[in-house]
Amino acid sequence: MAPQKLTDYERKRLENIRRNDEMMAALKLHSKATQLSNFKRPRVGTKSYNMKSEKKPKTETPIVIRRSLRTRGIPPDSKGLDGDSVGPTTPRKTEPSVVSLGRISMADARESDHSDSFFVESLMGMAQLKAQYASVEKGKVEASLGLEALYLDPENIARVVPGRITSARFFPSSSVKMIAVGNTFGNVGFWNVGQSEVHLYRPHRAPISGILIQPHCLSKIYTSCYDGILRLMDAEKEIFDLVFESDESIFALSQPTNETNCLYLAEGSGGLTIWDNRIGKRMSHWVLHESRINTIDFNCKNPHIAATSSTDGTACTWDLRYTDGDKLTALRTFTHKRSVQSAYFSPSGCSLATTSLDNTIAIYSGVNMEDAAVINHNNQTGRWLSTFSRAKWGWDDSYLFVGNLKRGVDVVSAVQRKMVMTLESQHMSAIPCRFDTHSYEVGMLAGATSGGQVYIWTSR
DNA sequence: TGTATGGTTACTCAG
DNA sequence: CTGAGTCCACCATACA
């Protein structure tokens, strides 16, 4: 339906110029406000999204988790389970036409009240830069880090989304320090670290389980959701496109480095699905675990080797090249006493770290990962926190970062096989549950909380 | 194999 | 600063 005449381009340009002017005005006001509020005690970050006045997060529809609707005879396009009324007779809950199952324009999904035209353009600019200097940025940095140099600058704190953060990812760019986070409401927020503005969208209606920024094209960002929907944000087209819709929840989203055509999703109870973008179809689907897969990670040295962690109490490694018919056999299985929240390969690919609700972090190394080091760590999060039991590797094989209930970041040394310190700051007023490390900026560590804040630690 | 139930417990906001 | 309200995550257990 979009009118496509030559004048359309010009009209759009003018519109952009106008919106930029508005934004500059807004920015000036905003920075004034920030300066003023900085005189108060910095209880929480002064940086924050500003909601469009007509959209408030409080009156959200309840969070919906897909649970094998097919087996319950509920139509796949139903909005799912609605509170206690569980069963085939559940009437379709019709929301106003706002809920579009297909593509959503970024304008419709936008919830921050300021213009995002500059942000959208900068995304495309980054994408172009990226293509230009692709060769320069080929290799990720691998460098050791002095822990004592890590500190939290109060400028590097922002409330990026409302509610509880479930997913956080830095842009894989050496020129930009931008982070994207997702929350339980289905919001995705973007923050250029240190700046005062945050851009907030709502492309989903349930918890975001994964964010995947295409390394070769930063303006294309995949998001997966508990409601079973996989979207692609395309800044160029200014849409959140619908890529794939499952009957079951998607719990994780991943991609090996250098792979561009396929997406790897944790689907339903124990399912691993490979989605092929070229043909728009499931390429493979296996049930690898007895319960949900919490993380999918790839070995950077051998990208066909994957590690999964699952609520069934195990983590497994797989060689995705070798399928025995429709079956896939684990290379190795690592068992915990309770649910395993994460299994991540170290930056070198030589070690695997698992984190479990049995209050341990295990580090496996050696030729066949047969050498296990088990470190005790309190991984219990209650009802109100995202499970922070996801120890994340730093920039080399020496340290892991994991949340601490006392508002800190515990640092585990893989060499010493123990916790060596806790990063603490008076500015950190909430518990960091989810972490991400900046690929190109050694020491830049993001901790995301259940209150929507993001804390960026940097190296002094 | 599936479902219903109980337990955990941090953050925000109003006053 | 204090305390009420949030609420529907997630897992483990019990039971059909």
- pLDDT tens digits, A407-430: 899 999 999 999 999 999 988 888
Determine if strand B comes within 7 Å of the CB of A385: yes
Question: Confidence band (pLDDT; 50, 70, 90) for A354?
Answer: very high
Specify the pLDDT at position A295.
93
What was the pLDDT predicted at A293? 93
For residues A32-51, average pLDDT: 45
pLDDT at A55 over 80: no
Between A37 and A449, where is the model more confident? A449
For A91, how many CA atoms within 13 A lie in the half-sphere containing its CB? 3
pLDDT over 70 (residue A281): yes
Listed range (A3-7, A15-19, A368-372, A441-445) with the worst mean pLDDT: A3-7
Residue A169 has pLDDT above 50, yes or no: yes
A63 has pLDDT over 90: no
The residues of A between 388 and 407 with beta carbon within 7 Å of nucleic strand B are: 405, 407
Categorize the per-residue pLDDT at A102 as very low, low, confident or very high, splitting at 50, 70 and 90: confident
Q: What pLDDT score was predicted for residue A388?
A: 56
The sign of the torsion formed by the CA atoms of A420, A423, A429, A431 equals: negative
Interatomic separation, CA of residue A452 and C1' of nucleotide B14, rounded (Å)? 20
Q: What is the pLDDT of residue A114?
A: 86
Confidence of residue A37 (pLDDT cuts 50, 70, 90): very low
pLDDT tens-digit readout, A72-96: 333 333 333 333 222 222 233 333 3
Using alpha carbons, select from A251, A244, A440, A232 the residue that is nearest to residue A342: A251
pLDDT of residue A258: 83
d(CA A94, CA A29): 40
Res. A32 pLDDT band, cuts 50 70 90: very low
CA closest to C1' of B2 belongs to A71
Nucleotides of C under 7 A from a protein CB: 6-12
pLDDT of residue A224: 94
Output the distance from A389 CA to C11 C1' rounded to whole Å.
Answer: 13
Span CA (A339) to C1' (C10), Å:
10
CA of A280 to C1' of B11 (A): 41
Assign A309 a pLDDT band (cuts: 50, 70, 90): very high
Q: Do residues A454 and A448 touch, judged by C-beta distance below 8 A? A: yes
- Is pLDDT at A7 greater than 70 in this prediction? no
Q: What does the pLDDT read at residue A48?
A: 74
Report yes or no: A317 and A352 within 8 Å, Cβ to Cβ: yes
**What pLDDT score was predicted for residue A316?**
94
Nucleotide nearest to A433 (CA to C1'): B10
Minimum mean pLDDT among A17-21, A288-292, A314-318: which range? Answer: A17-21
Nearest nucleotide, CA A209 to C1'? C9
Mean of pLDDT over chain A: 78
Q: pTM of this prediction?
A: 0.81
CA A142/CA A15 separation, integer angstroms: 44
Nearest nucleotide to A86 by CA–C1' distance?
A: B3
pLDDT band, residue A325 (cuts 50/70/90): low
Q: Label the pairing between strands A293-298 and A305-310.
A: antiparallel
Lowest mean pLDDT among A45-49, A60-64, A146-150, A456-460: A60-64
User: Closest Cα partner for A66 from A77, A58, A50?
Assistant: A77
pLDDT at A156 over 70: yes
User: CA-based angle A180:A454:A194, to the nearest 5?
Assistant: 80
Sign of CA dihedral A95, A96, A101, A107: negative
- Which nt has its C1' nearest the CA of A407? B10
Nucleotide nearest to A431 (CA to C1'): B10
Nearest residue to A419 (alpha-carbon basis) of A361, A365, A364:
A361
d(CA A77, CA A245): 10
The per-residue pLDDT for A303 is: 94
Q: Specify the pLDDT at position A194.
A: 85
A71 band by pLDDT with thresholds 50, 70 and 90: very low
* Most confident by average pLDDT, A56-65, A78-87, A195-204: A195-204
Neighbours of A366 (CB within 10 A): 10
Characterize the bridge pairing of strands A165-170 and A392-393. unpaired
A292-330 burial, b at 16+ Cβ within 10 Å, e below that, comes to: bbbbbbbbbeeeebbbbbbbbbbbbbbebeeeeeeebeb
pLDDT band of residue A381 (cuts 50, 70, 90) is confident
Closest CA to A271 of A244, A292, A246: A292
pLDDT at A338 over 50: yes
CA of A55 to C1' of C6 (A): 20
